[in-house]
Structure 1
Amino acid sequence: MNTMLFFRKQMFIVSVLALLLTPACRRELLDQAPDEQISDATAFDTPDRIEKLRFGLYDALKAPSMYGSRFMVYSDIRGEEFLNEGMQTGNGLQVWNHSLDAFFPEVTEVWTAGYAIINGCNIFIDGIQKNKAVLHNDQLAIQYEAEAKFIRGLTYYCLLTLYARPYPDGNGAKPGLILRLLPEPGSSNKNQSRTTVAAVYDQILEDLDFARDNLPLNRGNDYGNTTLAHRNTAIALKTRVLLTMGRYQDLITEASTIVSATAPFVATGQGVPNALQDDILRVFSSPYTTLENIFSLPNTAADPLYLQRAAASYYNPPPNGLGDYSLNPNGILMDAAFAATDDRRQFVFDNPENNKPYLIKYPTGTPHTDYVPVIRYAEVLLNLSEAHARTAGLSQRAVDLLNAVRGRSNPAGVYALSDFASADALIAAILKERRIELMGEGFRSNDCTRLLLPIPGKGNIATIQPNDTRYIWPIPSNELDTNDFCEQNPGY
C-alpha cells in the first residue's frame, strides 16, 4: 500500500470532512458537532458543506506538525536563540542539535502534514471548479479557490525552507519539492520527481498572485481580517517569498501597494488598513485581532492548539508549559541592540526556579489559546526595509522603515542614516532587528539559509556551514519508500 498517499487522503477526508468541520475561523460555528456522515462523494453537494470544507483548510494549518507549533518551533530552534533543556527525544532535540535523518519523526511528520494540507487544497480547488454552480455565485467560487491557493502557496513555501537548498544556491536550479497540483484520492500518481526550487517558487508566486487578485479587500470585521485571507494577506506573504528568493526590486513593487510612502506607515487604499500597533504587547494579547495581525490562526478554549504540542508548551516554563527551550543568554539577549528598556524585553521571563530566561510571547497555559501569528505588519516593514537597503544602499526609506519597528518598542534606540558607515552596516542592523522583533515566530533559520549564511552554533552545538549536509533536511524515508522517482538530498 502507498502509505503516504493513503495518509494524505485519510487526513483530508476524515479530518477535514469530519473533525475539521468544526471550523476555527467562524465563531458561531466553533461549538457545532461535526458532520460525521459526510463522505467525499457528497462533500460539495451544498453551499454549507463547501463552506465548512473551506474553513477546514484554515484549521488544517493548525496541524501540530505545521503552524500548530512544530514547523514554527523547528524553524527557530535550528538557530542560536534557544537552548534545549530536557535533552529528550520528542521535544525537537534532533532538530536543535542538527542530528536528523530521513526516518526521524520530525522529518516525516512535517512533510506528511504539509502534503496532506496541499492535497486538501487540491481536492478543494478541483471540487470548487467542478461544483461552482452549487454556490450560485461565480465570484464566491473564485474567492474560495483563491483562499485554497493562498493556503497551498504558504504550505509549499514552508516545506521549501526546510527540505530544499536555498534559492540563491544555483538560482533555483537545485532539486526542490514534488509539485503536486492535482487531487490524489489514491496511489495512482505516487511516482513523481522533484521539480527545481525555481519551479516550486514559480508555483507559489502563481498561487499568491491568484489569491491577491481574487481575495476580498476586507472581511468586514477585525476577527475576519485577522483569521481569513484577504488581499493584503496574499501581498504580505508574497513579500516574504520574494525576500527569500532575493528578488528585492519585485518585493519593493509588491510591498508598496500596502505600505505608505511616509511614516506612520499604513496600508492605504480600499483594503484593510494594516499598520503597526503602538504597543507590541497588544499584538500578543487577547483578542489578538489588531491591524498589525495580518494573518493569525485563532484558538479558543473550545478549539485550542494541540495542548503539549503548542509553541507555548515548548517555550514557557512550568506551569504554563514544559520549558523544553530556554533562551540562549549568549544570543540576541546579550546584544547591545536589544536594550534593557526595550518593551520586547517583557517577552523574556527570568525563571527563578532555574535562573534561566524563557520566551513568554505565548503565555497562556493549557488549553493554549494564544493565536498563532503567521504574518504581521512588522515583518512586512522589515522585509521592505531590507529590500531598499539591498537595492539602494544607504537608503533613508530603509532606515525609516527599520525605525518604525524598532522605535515602537525602543524609542531611544532609533537610528539616523549617518549612524551607518555602509549599506552592509545598515543591512546588519535590519537583520539584527528581525532577530529581536520576530523571535519565536519561526523566522531565524530561514533568515540564515536564504542568505547562504552559516546557522550559528549554540552551547556545545557547532555552527552549520552552508555546504554542510545538515544545512537542509533530508527527504523523509516514507516518501522515498513509496515514490520511485523521488531523489534524496545529497549526504543523507
Structure 2
Amino acid sequence: MKYRKHIYTFLLPLVAVVSSCNKSLLDTTPEASLSSSSIFSTAKRIEGLVNGMYGDLKAANLYGGRYLLFQDVRGEEFLNITASLYTGYETWGNSNTSGSNDVNYVWTAAYAVVNDANILISGLNGVSGVITDSLKKQYVAEARFARALSYFSLITLYSKPYNADAGASRGLPLRLQAELSSGNNDLAASSVAAIYQQIITDLDSAEAGLPQVYSSDLLNTTRAHKSTAIALKTRVYLNKGDYDKTIAEAVKLVPQTSAPFKTTTGVQHALQSSIATLFSSNYVTTESIFSMPMTSSSSLSGQSAIGYIYYINKEYYLNAAGIFGDSQWGSTDARRDFLSLSGSKYYLKKYAKSSPYVDYIPVIRYAEVLLNYAEAAAKKGSLTLAQNLLKAVHSRSDASYTFTDAQIGTADALVSTILKERRIELLGEGFRSNDLLRNLQTIPAKGDASLQSAAVSSSASNYIFPLPSGELTTNTLLHD
C-alpha cells in the first residue's frame, strides 16, 4: 500500500539540504535524486539526510500538528462541530477502526522518522573521513533522539499504558534496522516494556552525544541538544511511573528548589515572563526546548494546519465541562487570552496566524519539565518542592491566584492540582489523552446537542488506537 511503501523508499529519491549551518535543519529544499550507494558520499548529502529526518518529524500527521490534535481531542477539553473525518472526528469520538485515516497516517509518519533515523545510524557507522568524528557523533545522537520521540509517540497511542501491567502488554514492531525496500515488513511486536527500554537507551545515548548548545536561538529551539534529550526523559519516566528517575533527570534542568527556576548548563532554559510571547512574537526563547518551525515557504496549509482546524475553521470549541470551566483557571489568568469568543462558543487561538500558518508548533517546553518534576516530587512526598514548581508555572500567568490547603496540602490533592495545571498550561499542545491513559483514568464522555462521544474505560478496546490496516496487511507477524 502506498503509505506503507513510503516508509522504506522516501529517502532515496529526495534529500533535503540547507545552504548554511546557521539555518534550522527543518528549513529544507530538495536536491537531485541520489542512489543508495552515494547518499553518504559527501558532507552535504549526509547533512541533507539529517534535514530530511527533521522534516519528517514536522509532517502534518506527526509533530506538524495532527499528533498533538489527536492527543488533545480524545480527551474532554474540546467539542467537535464539523464531524469531519479529515480533521480528527473519529479520534474525537474514540471510534477509530483499523482502516481510519488517523490511525494509519500517524503510524506511517512516525515509522518514517524511525527509518530515517535507522538509515542515518547505519550509514554513519560505515562512513569514514567524509565528516568529522564529532559531527558524526552528533548526527547519530540526533537520529537516536528522533527515533525515541517517534517510538514514544507511537506507544502512547497504539499500546496499553505501561502502568496497566508494568509494560507486559503488546507493544510495537521494534524496527532498528535501516530498510530500503519492503522485503522485511514482517516483524512481531515487542512488549511495551521493551519499547520503553529502547526509548530510554536511545535518549541516554542522545544525551551523551548531543551538543550542549548551538550557535543561535533558532537552532537551540529546532534541533536536539542535550537538554532536549533530558527533557524528553522526564516525560518518558513520568509515563512509566518511575518518579525517582523523573526527578533525577529533571534536576539536570531544574537544579533549584525554589523560584526562579533556570537551567545552569548548556542552553539557559527558563520560563518567559509572559506565555503569550511563546505563541506570538518570539518562538525561539529559552522556554521552547524543542519546536517545529514554520515559515512562509515551509509550512502546512488547509486541513493539515493545526491553526486552521482549531481557530480559522473553528472545528473544535472549548467544553464548559472541561478545564475551561474549572475555577483553577481564573478569569484574570493570562492564558485565557488564548481563547476567542465567537457567537456563544470559545475557541483556542494558541495557533492564531492565518495562511501561511507560520506559528511554531511546540513539542517540549520548560513549563512542562517543571510540571513533570512537580508531579514526581509530589508522588515522592516532597510537597514543598512540588508546590514551588506548580506555583512558578501558575503565577507566571496569574500572580494573584492563591492555592488553598485543600488543593495542595496533601500529596494526593497536590497531584490532582498539578494535573489540572497541566490541562491549563499545555492545552492544545498534545498532552490530555496521554495524561488520562498513563493514570489509567476513564476518558470522559463529552458532547453537545449535536455530537456526543461516550466515556471510554481503561479496559475498553478503544482506550487505545487499533493497529492500522496498512500495517496488518503487510506485516503478517503483527497481532494483538
TM-score interval, normalised by the smaller of the two chains: over 0.9
CA contact (8 A) 1:177 1:195 kept: yes
Q: In structure 2, do the counterparts of structure 1 residues 80 and 175 end up closer, same or farther at CA, with 3 Å as the change threshold?
A: same
TM-score, normalisation: structure 1? 0.93
1:309-458 equivalent positions in 2, closer than 5 A? 309-316=304-311, 321-351=312-342, 354-392=343-381, 395-415=383-403, 420-458=408-446
Matching residue of 1:264? 259
Contact 2:87 2:303 in 1 (8 A): no
Offset of residue 262 of structure 1: 3.1
- Match of 1:256, SS? helix
What does 1:53-452 align with in structure 2 at a 5 Å threshold? 53-135=49-131, 137-316=132-311, 321-351=312-342, 354-392=343-381, 395-415=383-403, 420-452=408-440
Shift of 1:38: 2.7
CA distance, structure 2, for counterparts of residue 210 and residue 295 of structure 1: 18
2-structure distance, mates of 1:122, 1:456: 38
Cα distance change of structure 1 residues 115 and 49 upon mapping to structure 2, 3 Å threshold: same
Unaligned runs of 5+ in 2: none
CA distance in 2 between partners of 1:418 and 1:10 (Å): 56
SS of aligned partner of 2:170? coil
Single out whichever of 302-311 and 405-414 deviates more from structure 2.
302-311
Structure-2 separation of matches of 1:446 and 1:31: 30
User: For structure 1, which runs of at least 5 residues remain unmatched after alignment?
Assistant: none
8 Å contact from structure 1 (residues 21, 34) kept in 2: yes
Question: In structure 2, what is the equivalent of residue 13 of structure 1?
Answer: 12
For residues 396-426 of structure 1, give each alpha carbon's deviation from its aligned partner in whole angstroms, at most 9, with x where no partner exists: 0000000000010011114366753421111
Residue 32 of structure 1, CA deviation: 7.2
SS at match of 1:13: coil
Whether the 8 Å CA contact 1:5–1:184 is kept in 2: the answer is no
Deviation at 1:188, TM superposition (A): 2.6
Secondary structure of 1:358's partner?
Answer: strand
Let me know the Cα RMSD of the aligned residues: 1.9
TM-superposed deviation, 1:21: 3.6
| Contact 2:22 2:215 survives alignment (8 Å) | no
Distance 1:238 1:313 in 2: 31
Measured in 2, the distance between the counterparts of 1:248 and 1:212 equals 19
Say whether the 8 Å CA contact 2:374–2:385 is kept in structure 1. Answer: yes
CA drift of 1:98 comes to 1.1
* Aligned 8 A contact 1:25 1:228 in 2: no
* CA contact 2:24–2:222 (8 Å) conserved in 1: no
- Contact kept, 8 Å, 1:215 with 1:229, in 2: the verdict is yes
- 1:141 positional shift: 0.4
Between stretches 264-273 and 422-431, larger displacement belongs to 264-273
Q: How many angstroms apart in 1 are the aligned matches of 2:428 and 2:328?
A: 18
Q: Match of 1:308, SS? A: helix
Q: Quick check: 2:28–2:55 contact (8 Å CA) kept in 1? A: no
Equivalent pairs: percent with the same residue?
A: 43
Cα displacement (A) at 1:304 = 1.3
1:7 positional shift? 1.9
Cα distance change on mapping 1:158 and 1:23 into 2, 3 Å: farther
What SS is found at the alignment partner of 1:273? Answer: coil
- In the TM superposition, residue 451 of structure 1 has moved relative to its aligned partner by 0.6
Is the partner of 1:190 in helix, strand or coil? coil
State the TM-score, normalized to the length of structure 2. 0.95
For residues 307 and 468 of structure 1, do their structure 2 counterparts lie closer, same or farther at Cα, with a shift above 3 Å needed?
Answer: same
Q: Distance in 2 between matches of 1:288 and 1:232?
A: 17
Taking a change above 3 Å as real, the CA distance of residues 47 and 487 of structure 1, as seen in their structure-2 partners, is same
The size of the alignment, in residue pairs, is: 476
Matched residue type, 1:105: N
Q: Which segment is superposed worse, 172-181 or 56-65?
A: 56-65
- Flag the 1:128–1:344 CA change in 2: closer, same or farther, 3 A: same
Displacement after TM superposition at 1:29 (Å): 8.3
